[in-house]
Structure 1
């Protein structure tokens, strides 16, 4: 059996764990909203039509923020369509997803849902077909105290107190030719700066996110960030990143190493952003909102839009995730945590039905996909500080990334409680690996083991249904032993692993 070694030291801190790393995304796309979070005919639906079973899954997932209402959808969205009496709201063609949007759920309904779910909203404004005026109108509607048209309109619609939304995305994927209202970097940068300045005249304490590149493969990546931030650097706080990963041409080895590509993408974006900071001689540092990331089989049948009709809430982008997909999601979470000094916000795209950890039958059952579990565990156990670990691992060759480590890992430490969490993936498809976790820096007796768990399956392509969802979940890993202050844990092939420790006095 091969081995790896992980050295931990509580003094080597990357950054505090940002709770906003564990955000997600709800877009008016397919059955994410209608039939997903909102299903008035469901037996568990509440007075607002929200599914109680989904709300419980969301709470258990441990998410912090939810980005809304898009996504590509937002670039053609008229937010005013989704307020006031539901029977008076217009239906519109959604050009992004070739669907009909009934506007049954809008801003006020979504905000009631976030309160029930216990999450913070991250609102996006339409800078595709709209601009500055519509953005500040929406901000006044959501956050205004009263005495103005839009804040009084919110009160008339039944919500007396302002929502106090603090996180705002200035458009979505404006670098993409597929985006309604696609712009050049200079055009978008100026519009983003103008919108940001106007919004801050209403509330100077907003957190504003400028659109970065829609992926590392975009031909404008790097140049886009530079030109946007040359216009908007002083006006925004974060710049976005989007990335999706899937197995291509049966190359499972490269797919399992998707975190290598995410690491490189983040590092390259940081370099581009900091170049602008240096040229501007700015003291402020722009950090990253990785507000779309996931496994998504973009070339699969589930991702094809309806071609002729304009249905309401079609079955769209409903990927069914395998155990291998869950291991990759775990690896991507490790990458995000490892970069917590610069990635301070992230959104798993999306939350329900649409490339999601939660699946539902409209009016019927719901269940957790395989990818639910790594996210839920990372959100629950990553506390305190992210540690800069020293990892020694055997490598394997991939067609896409060259030689990559078989084991990838990150750790967190909470100084207040002494809790330590080690998150690790074994990318080997055939071999178990013993990882030696060196805990001597936590005191003369090192640390004590609380629990070790593993998520795996004999078939890496096993996917779950409503009937089989309980067949894939983290299970206790008893293959552990101590050698003085070194904990030895056997990580099975193709697995996601969590080792929980507590520092001794």
Structure 2
């Protein structure tokens, strides 16, 4: 099977916002407790943070991390997480049926974020609470001093403000499962008034309003239209979420799901343009895709826990153990974001540790990289620069989700500063290798090329505590240079990163 790809230096999509490779931590299961925070762990620092996990996060080079939720935030009192730990209350988390002792709050998270090299992206509670609590939280986090909440922060040990720029106005407020669920008009009005209050404090804040929880919601895409009509001039991004499932164990259909993701982004982009035109606005609102990942491996058994009445501290829920097939899916998702980087400026893999995550830990024991750690790391580290508009000619197949799905899923990024072009390519054909001819136009002469390959004969192959290196990147040998062209052989069901030095 053959494919032809042309990349031209003048045909660019957008400069990629580094936050496209963002992440997410929620007070859910073991994401925080025994994930990033475990005071009794051998690797714990003076703050109780696991340094082995910090090292793995720094290796990912994820530039921003959303916190503290997620569904958790919609009934969360941020004030519970400040002051001496022994004085902090234990609460019932209604979203995930767990006990929350609040030993990790904004101070602990901020200290962890600094050590992990990530920018904070904070969410405010617009479910059970509202404008007043949101403005107080922003004042606590961002005001230098001389006011009630900023002086409280200083009293609690943080003299200077953190200066957090990106704030989420609630979470999934379109969902009936959400504490404080609202109609689009109700939510849009509250979000707009909250945005106005936060901008009165600091007009340079970046504010994210809730879009649809997924594209199968009955209110989609009218929700986006209504919310944007209420908020357009006071916000910067609208959030979207999507999770990817393969209950039927059909790999061809599974790997076609990014076509649905692309339509989702395209539809919401159209709604944004409609509202912009209706308001005669000069402002461009972008998309924050701040929850995405594969999620289905443990979903049914987790539901049994969530329907029970056994409230526990940090139960091991949503702990999907990812396989090689998921590597291919995550690669396709990331490629979609790169190709849509003119619209999608922020994206957050959900989540970062233990809970549907690229990093897993054992309490008191090791931390290791799941299979999906690697395509995320490669894109995060090498997918910075300008996204390229590629011309792709490749055979296709028909799937339940879409007709004409290309066997080759590919995205290209030009890093002018580094003098390189990087291609991320997935062969969605499970039975044949893909012979790819890749032409580089007006980039200069390629002088060197490297090929990083991830593949395994078993789609179900997993990385575990006992065998953490079952699925890892390896040096490929299927790429050669001739003039301004590359020839690449992509094995069946494989992920490749091809880097060209110019």
TM-score normalised per structure 2: 0.98
1:279 corresponds to which residue? 278
1:45 corresponds to which residue? 44
Q: Secondary structure at the match of 2:234?
A: coil
Displacement after TM superposition at 1:468 (Å): 1.4
Task: Kindly indicate whether residue 157 of structure 2 is the aligned counterpart of residue 158 of structure 1.
Answer: yes
Displacement after TM superposition at 1:304 (Å): 4.2
Q: Secondary structure at the match of 1:501?
A: strand
5 Å-filtered alignment, 1:382-461, equals 382-443=383-444, 446-461=445-460
Structure 2: distance between partners of 1:302 and 1:127: 26
Structure 2: distance between partners of 1:193 and 1:292: 22
1:11 corresponds to which residue? 10
Q: Secondary structure at the match of 1:325?
A: helix
5 Å-filtered alignment, 1:36-435, equals 36-297=35-296, 299-302=299-302, 304-306=304-306, 307-435=308-436
Structure 2: distance between partners of 1:362 and 1:457: 29
CA RMSD of aligned residues (A): 1.1
Structure 2: distance between partners of 1:406 and 1:341: 24
Deviation sequence 1:184-203 (CA, Å, 0-9, x none): 00000000000000011111
Displacement after TM superposition at 1:55 (Å): 0.1
Displacement after TM superposition at 1:392 (Å): 1.0
Structure 2: distance between partners of 1:301 and 1:113: 31
Structure 1: distance between partners of 2:199 and 2:376: 34
Deviation sequence 1:138-189 (CA, Å, 0-9, x none): 0010011111111000000000000101000000000000000000000000
> Contact 2:211–2:240 at 8 Å: present in 1 too?
yes
Q: Secondary structure at the match of 1:402?
A: coil
Deviation sequence 1:307-339 (CA, Å, 0-9, x none): 121100000000000100111001000000101
Structure 1: distance between partners of 2:303 and 2:471: 25
| Distance change >3 Å, CA 304–CA 373, structure 1 → 2 | farther
Structure 2 residues without counterparts, runs of 5 or longer: none
Structure 1 residues without counterparts, runs of 5 or longer: none
Q: Secondary structure at the match of 1:447?
A: coil
Structure 2: distance between partners of 1:70 and 1:336: 22
Structure 2: distance between partners of 1:71 and 1:84: 23
Structure 1: distance between partners of 2:384 and 2:227: 34
Structure 2: distance between partners of 1:304 and 1:436: 50
Q: Secondary structure at the match of 1:425?
A: strand
**Higher mean Cα deviation, 6-15 or 398-407?**
398-407
Deviation sequence 1:318-371 (CA, Å, 0-9, x none): 000010011100100000010111100010000000000000001111100000
Poorly superposed stretches of 4+, deviation over 3 Å:
302-306
> Contact 2:449–2:480 at 8 Å: present in 1 too?
no
Deviation sequence 1:266-294 (CA, Å, 0-9, x none): 00110111111111111101110000011
How many residues are matched?
Answer: 500
**Higher mean Cα deviation, 377-386 or 446-455?**
446-455
Structure 1: distance between partners of 2:100 and 2:316: 14
Structure 1: distance between partners of 2:385 and 2:256: 27
Structure 2: distance between partners of 1:304 and 1:41: 30
> Contact 2:299–2:318 at 8 Å: present in 1 too?
no
> Contact 1:99–1:312 at 8 Å: present in 2 too?
yes
Structure 1: distance between partners of 2:208 and 2:74: 15
Displacement after TM superposition at 1:224 (Å): 0.2
Displacement after TM superposition at 1:91 (Å): 0.2
Displacement after TM superposition at 1:393 (Å): 1.0
Structure 1: distance between partners of 2:384 and 2:353: 26
Q: Secondary structure at the match of 1:229?
A: helix
**Higher mean Cα deviation, 25-34 or 379-388?**
379-388
Q: Secondary structure at the match of 1:434?
A: strand
> Contact 1:367–1:469 at 8 Å: present in 2 too?
yes
Displacement after TM superposition at 1:73 (Å): 0.1
> Contact 2:422–2:497 at 8 Å: present in 1 too?
yes
> Contact 2:449–2:479 at 8 Å: present in 1 too?
no
TM-score normalised per structure 1: 0.97
